[in-house]
A and B are shown apart, each in its own frame.
Chain A
Amino acid sequence: MKKLFLLLLILSSMFLTSCFDSKEVDNMVYVVAIGIDKEQLGQYNYTFQYALPLNISKGSSGDEEPLQCESIKSTNIYSAIDSFSKIISKEITLSHLKLIAFSQDIAFDGLEKFKPEVLSNVEILPSACIVITKTDAKEYLENVTSPLELNPAKYYNFAFDEKNSPFIEAFYLKSFFEKSDYLIPLVYAKDNTSDTDGAVLFKDHKLVSHLTPDEIPYFKLLSGTLNSFNIDFSSQGFSAVVTQQKKPFINVEKDNLNIYITLYVTKEIHGNPPKDADNMINNKIRNKCLNIITKSQSKNADILNIKATLRPHFLTLEQYEDFGFYSKYPEIYFDIKVRS
Chain B
Amino acid sequence: MTLKSKEAIALSVNLICAKTFLMVPIFFKRLAESGSLILVAYIFTLAFAFMFVYLFTGKIKIPKLLIPLISVAVILVCSINLFEYSRTVSALFFKSTPLFVIFLFFAVAMTVGAYSHIGKLNLFFVPIIYITVFIMLFFTFSDGNYYYLFPIMGKGFKTVFGDGFFMLSSLFEAIILFFIPEMLEDKKDTKKVAAFTLIFSFAIYLVITAACLITVHTDLPENCFSPLFLILRQIKMGTYFQHPDTAFLIIYFISSFLYLSGMLFFLCNIWGKMSKKALYIPLALLILILALNGDKLMPLTLSLNKVLWVFPFILPIFSRRSLK
Contacts and interface: CB of A to CB of B under 8 A. Distances in A.
Interface of A: 2, 6, 9-10, 13, 17, 20-21, 95, 116, 119-120, 122, 125-127, 157, 172, 174, 177-178, 305, 308-309, 311-312, 314-320
A316 B151 contact: yes
A13 B112 CA distance: 11
Interface in B154-189: 154-157
A299 B35 CA distance: 32
Contact of B112 (A9, A172, A178): A9
Given A17-B101, A125-B233, A127-B236, A311 B222 contact: no
Contacts of A120: 221-223
A20 B156 CA distance: 50
Interface stretch (B4-12, B89-97, B131-139, B194-202): B89-97
A178 B221 CA distance: 12
Given A120-B222, A177-B218, A318 B155 contact: yes
Nearest to A312: B150
B155 A13 contact: no
B219 to A, nearest CB: 9
Contacts of B276: none
A197 B236 CA distance: 26
9 contacts: A13-B105, A122-B223, A126-B236, A127-B242, A309-B147, A315-B151, A315-B153, A316-B151, A318-B156
Given A125-B243, A315-B151, 8 more contacts: A6-B116, A21-B94, A125-B242, A308-B147, A316-B154, A316-B156, A317-B156, A318-B155
B33 interface: yes
B92 A122 contact: yes
Contacts of B236: 126-127, 172
Given A177-B218, A319-B151, A311 B97 contact: no
A312 B151 contact: yes
Nearest to B224: A120
Given A122-B92, A178-B217, A311 B112 contact: no
B239 interface: yes
A127 to B, nearest CB: 5
Contacts of B151: 311-312, 314-317, 319-320
Contacts of A311: 34, 147-148, 150-151
Contacts of A177: 216-218, 234
Interface of B is mostly: loop
B108 interface: yes
A95 B236 CA distance: 14
Contact of A308 (B91, B145, B157): B145
A20 B100 CA distance: 14
B234 A174 contact: yes
A317 B154 contact: yes
Contacts of B91: 122
Interface string B195-236: 000000000000000000000111001110000000001101
B166 to A, nearest CB: 20
Contacts of A172: 236
Contacts of B271: none
A159 B246 CA distance: 27
A20 B102 CA distance: 12
A182 B223 CA distance: 25
B152 interface: yes
A13 B108 contact: yes
B318 interface: no
B123 to A, nearest CB: 18
A119 B221 contact: yes
A2 B34 CA distance: 51
Nearest to A172: B236
Nearest to B220: A177
Contact of A317 (B34, B92, B115): B34
A249 to B, nearest CB: 13
Nearest to B91: A122
A170 to B, nearest CB: 11
A311 B221 CA distance: 23
Contacts of A316: 35, 151, 153-157
B152 A315 contact: yes
B234 A20 contact: no
A316 B38 CA distance: 12
Contacts of A17: 101, 105
Contacts of B234: 126, 174, 177
Nearest to B116: A6
Nearest to B223: A120
Given A311-B148, A318-B155, A178 B218 contact: yes
A317 B112 contact: no
Contacts of A315: 151-153
